[in-house]
Amino acid sequence: MRNLTGAAVGALGIVNLVDRPHGRERLILTITQAEALTIPTHIHGYPDVAFGGYLAGLLAAHAGGDTVRVDFRRAVSVDTPILLSAPEPGRATFTATDDTLLVEAAPATLTLDPRPAPSWAAAKSAVELGLSGKRTVTDCYGCGLACAPGRGLVLFPSELPGERMMAAAWTPDPALADETGELPPEVVWSALDCPGGRAAFVFSRMGLGAFTAALTATQLQPVYAGADYISHAWITHRDGRKHTVGVALSTPDGDPVALAEALWIEPRN
């Protein structure tokens, strides 16, 4: 089975190979016995809370399917054992050791109408503009700029002037990739998480403490370390405390490689 970042023990399952939409085979592991693992301390968004996109990508890889929706029921702590189960193709869950449901994944349909990607030059300029301001968070696994190579994406989307869109030019570090140079699903899904939150904070005035409640995504092409990509995110809807965002990862030519729709929710108080 594919080695996960974290401690994984006690897994029994059946390995199946299925075709990916872009012609590559994907390994699907149907787990017949829960697999215990912990999320390393550095893979966090809020302090001590495991990064949502990373958790979602791990579950999506085990659930299989072209498009997967991941719902976050409770916060997952870093450096704490959790159980991964995928008793049937298409579904996977994280539970606490007392069987409390934490996160679940299931097949879905993505109806997102993606906005066109900005140019590489515009995305790069947005990052440079964002870097000129004060940053209160520097160690987030997704957008933290102080993360050491391989310990964070260093993907920092910033406002694209006049477009109501967040954008970033991003070249993934080789330390994020597997032995073939491809980014694993948990890293790709991580790249689809933070940008949407930043868009909601800036354009939808989302309150502090908001969190990813659901993330629906599809990966259209492999994503490789050392290659250039454009990340952009935008607001699609707001309903009170609920903010829905679209996120895309594209090549410099504007071809999408991954798309996502996320629901962010503000805390009640």
> Residue 51: phi, psi to the nearest 5?
-65, 125
- Residue 136's pLDDT is 66
Q: Write down the CATH number for the domain with range 120-265.
A: 3.10.129.10
Q: What's this model's pTM, rounded to 2 decimal places?
A: 0.88
pLDDT band at 138 (very low <50, low <70, confident <90, very high): confident
Check pLDDT > 50 for residue 19. Answer: no
Q: Using one digit for the tens of pLDDT, what is the confidence trace for 142-178?
A: 999 889 999 999 999 999 999 999 999 999 999 999 9
pLDDT band at 20 (very low <50, low <70, confident <90, very high): very low
Tell which wins on pLDDT, 44 or 268: 44
Q: Using one digit for the tens of pLDDT, what is the confidence trace for 182-232?
A: 999 999 999 999 999 999 999 999 999 999 999 999 999 999 999 999 999
CA 244 to chain centre: 15
Residue 211 tokens, joined: 């969190």
Mean pLDDT of 8-13: 39
Give the start-to-end residue ranges of the domains of the chain. 12-107, 120-265
The 10 Å CB-count burial string (b at 16+, else e) for 1-25 is eeebbbeeeebebeeeeeeeeeeee
Three-state DSSP at 90 gives coil
pLDDT band at 17 (very low <50, low <70, confident <90, very high): very low
CB-CB contact of 114 with 246 (8 Å): yes
- Residue 68's pLDDT is 97
Residues 6+ apart with CB under 8 A from 205: none
- Residue 134's pLDDT is 66
- Residue 135's pLDDT is 66
**C-alpha distances out from residue 44 to 76, 153, 191, 215, Å:** 10, 11, 13, 16
Same fold for the pair 12-107 and 120-265: yes
CATH architecture of 12-107: Roll (3.10)
Residues 6+ apart with CB under 8 A from 148: none
User: In terms of residues, how long is the chain?
Assistant: 269
